A and B are shown apart, each in its own frame.
Chain A
Amino acid sequence: MGKNIYLGIDVGSVTTKCAVMGEDMELIAHHYIPTSGKPIAQIQKLIREISKEILPDLNIAGVGTTGSARYLAGEIVGADIIKNEITAHAIAATHYFPDVRTIIEIGGQDSKIIIIRNGVVADFGMNTVCAAGTGSFLDHQALRLGIRIEEFAGEAIKSKDPVRIAGRCTVFAESDMIHKQQMGHSTPDILYGLCQALVRNYINNVGLGKRIEAPIIFQGGVAYNKAIIRAFEEELGQEIMVPHHHEVMGAIGAAIIAWENHETTGARTRFKGFSISDICYETSTFTCNGCPNQCEIAQLKQGGQILARWGGRCEKWENVSHVMDKCENTGVLS
């Protein structure tokens, strides 16, 4: 049997990422694709890609999943450990930068701050009630201004005199932007103003009450955007470091956690093998009418067999070993 490798999968709301790490925690392969609202198909696609890349003598010894679809992903690939994305990002960042003190992570749908002291998480924050200042917001605004998101940073960085845009709410920001655009401000000035607004929003909301100290690491998809990095550096007066593989740090973290899990427990992996990319999975949802709460239950099926269910307030549907295809038989499905 060849060398052991560890697979980490991070299924976010906007992008799906995976990373393969070797025994010495070196990155062997990684992928980054859009989730496009089809997490299962995209996870299968990633697995297919990875299977082509890694040498046949390598042996997958552990699998970790993270991201907002971590439970779904874990069920599909057969994960040994399922971890939240905050821990995964912190583990990855401390792996590459042992003395890191602050992690800024901005993804598609959420943004986080993780405060690290002595190599462990000391505090963290996540955007609570508002999605202003996330990747999707930038995407949306770029689209509105007719700019591809890849060109966003290049344009914004040309700004000489950025306009002031209200950052605390996407609705305010958008109306501010439209107003300034109609007044004739240049696109770069509007774009960079938007970057500054995002950074202000992040520091005042997600970073509220947190001590942002250097070394500061910036990871997540939005770290592709050089203009945002510049706005952060200007606002904080500190240098911002961006890891080489910033966009897959969550997946790297999940792989490291899988390794740690394997080292501690020594258990055989539950990985279902590369063939899962060819299996047909079905997802469906139904409303349970067992009580007036009417929980929306989501279920994952493979050839008529139910693999998992989520979304109930009680345990009625969660424990799949006890239930056969009950929902169809009893007509609870509605």
Chain B
Amino acid sequence: MQVTFPHIGNAYIGIKSTLESLGTDVVVPPGCTRRTLTLATRYSPEGICLPFKLNLGNMIEAIELGADTIVNITGHGTCRMGYYHKVQEQILRDMGFDFQMELTGLSEHKLTGFFKMLKKISNNASWTQIISAFHFGLAKVTALDDIEIIANRMRAIEKEKGTITLLYREGTKAIDEAGDYRSLKNVVKDYRRRLKGIKILSGVSPLKVLVAGEIYVVLDTYANMDVELEMGKLGVVTERSLYLSRWAKRGLFYNPLGIDQYRKVHKAAMPYLKRDIGGDGWETIGEKVLGTGHYDGMVHLAPFTCMPEETAQNIMSSTKEDLPVLAIYCDEQTSKAGMLTRLEAFVDMLRMKRNRNGSRLLEE
């Protein structure tokens, strides 16, 4: 059995680690590239969102590399995403591929369903093995988020442009290669120290921007055209509304235990929207409300044609909390030019707001 799964950001490092420690043969799909996108758009329904398309592209490329089992997610109560696995399966079958699709539910099966799925694809590994493999995978995802948070903070103030990005890539690779808890711990410690120890610009207080929106495009740097990297280059610190490790822990542990970690966010969104509308739309509104005062601005990422995020965007334009929001729609375009113009203008705007008295454009 050759198991594969679609990409979302760098989650593959954790998933691969979990599956490999269970002795499963894993085919990691090649990272998203223009080829993935070309394949994906050729076989996807035209009006569907980018996450669907890219994931389908991942599956096609993984099957080409010999994968015969696809792990996919499903879930009710989210958005159209609940149907995606079925449509993707049908498209792949119509293309003449022979494979098996294993599903794990986000909202109904939770942790037990996830573990049962792991048992099935791991040739009946013991529950202890499964739990420990999963735990290690999650530790890797947590480690990745850990260094990414630091990278996105430090990139804005690095003296030599590009240092952080290079270090961060190295760190990601080292986490991927770490074989046990001990080496993982050392890698994280090492890179935390190195990322924080770079030469920085003195006397600057960078703008701080919240990056929020639909989970896939927030987490996936291919889909969002490296929006956080580009903001960092413009001297802006970015923080995300969601990180995969926290999101996974919430969905798999806290929610089943009845702990609603998003209560605060939902409560904040209440004056404007009283219920979940699917996807992350409700949370996006709450994040804007809570982020006002803490951040200089917010970048709202949404896949084009994403109903929950479009709804959120329209509501957000009239909230009394006046955090400036820049909406970026992620779709098939591969040129960054349009996004960069908007980002640069947004950053100028935030800077002007801050430096009312000094020069209008230049920092300090």
Contact = CB atoms under 8 A, between A and B. Distances in A.
Interface of A: 68, 83-87, 91, 118, 120-124, 126, 128-129, 208-209, 257, 260-261, 264-265, 291-295, 311, 313, 315, 319
A37 to B, nearest CB: 16
A120 B304 CA distance: 30
Nearest to A86: B345
Contact of A84 (B314, B324, B344, B359): B344
B30 A292 contact: yes
B148 to A, nearest CB: 17
Contacts of B353: 120, 122
A68 B304 contact: no
A87 B353 CA distance: 13
Interface in B311-361: 314, 317-318, 324, 329, 331, 335, 337, 340-342, 344-346, 348-349, 352-353, 356, 359-361
B317, B345, B352, most chain A CB atoms within 10 A: B345
Contacts of B132: none
Interface of B: 30-31, 33-36, 162, 165, 226, 304, 314, 317-318, 324, 329, 331, 335, 337, 340-342, 344-346, 348-349, 352-353, 356, 359-362
14 contacts: A83-B348, A84-B341, A87-B361, A121-B345, A122-B324, A124-B346, A124-B349, A129-B331, A261-B361, A265-B362, A292-B35, A295-B34, A315-B165, A319-B162
B350 to A, nearest CB: 9
B360 A120 contact: yes
Contact of B33 (A91, A120, A294): A294
A87 B318 contact: no
Contacts of A264: 359, 362
B33 A126 contact: no
B348 A313 contact: no
Contact of A123 (B324, B331, B335, B356): B324
A88 to B, nearest CB: 9
Contacts of B31: 291
B239 to A, nearest CB: 22
B360 A260 contact: yes
Contacts of B337: 68
B341 A209 contact: no
A292 B33 contact: yes
B34 A294 contact: yes
Nearest to A315: B162
A295 B165 CA distance: 19
A320 to B, nearest CB: 14
A309 to B, nearest CB: 14
A122 B324 CA distance: 8
Contacts of B324: 122-123
Nearest to A210: B317
Contact of B345 (A68, A84, A260, A293): A84
Nearest to A313: B226
A295 B348 CA distance: 29
Contacts of B346: 124
What are the nearest 6 A-B pairs in CB distance? A209-B317, A86-B345, A293-B33, A84-B344, A120-B352, A292-B33
Contacts of A260: 359-362
Contact of A124 (B318, B345, B359): B345
Nearest to B316: A209
Contacts of A313: 226
B329 A129 contact: yes
Contacts of A83: 344, 348, 361
A101 B83 CA distance: 46
Contacts of A257: 361
Contacts of A265: 362
A101 B341 CA distance: 22
A209 B348 contact: no
A209 B345 contact: no
Contacts of B344: 83-84, 87
Given A122-B353, A311-B335, 10 more contacts: A84-B348, A86-B341, A87-B344, A87-B361, A120-B360, A124-B346, A208-B317, A292-B36, A294-B33, A313-B226
A123 B325 CA distance: 9
A91 B360 contact: yes
A264 B363 CA distance: 10
A257 B362 CA distance: 10
Nearest to A84: B344
B335 to A, nearest CB: 8
Contact of A292 (B34, B314, B349, B359): B34
A122 B226 CA distance: 25
A128 B361 contact: no
Contact of B35 (A84, A122, A294): A294
A63 to B, nearest CB: 15
A120, A257, A265, A319, most chain B CB atoms within 10 A: A120
A22 to B, nearest CB: 20
Contacts of A118: 356
Contacts of A84: 340-342, 344-345, 348
A121 B352 contact: yes
A293 B34 contact: yes
Contacts of A120: 349, 352-353, 356, 360
Contacts of B356: 118, 120
A15 to B, nearest CB: 17
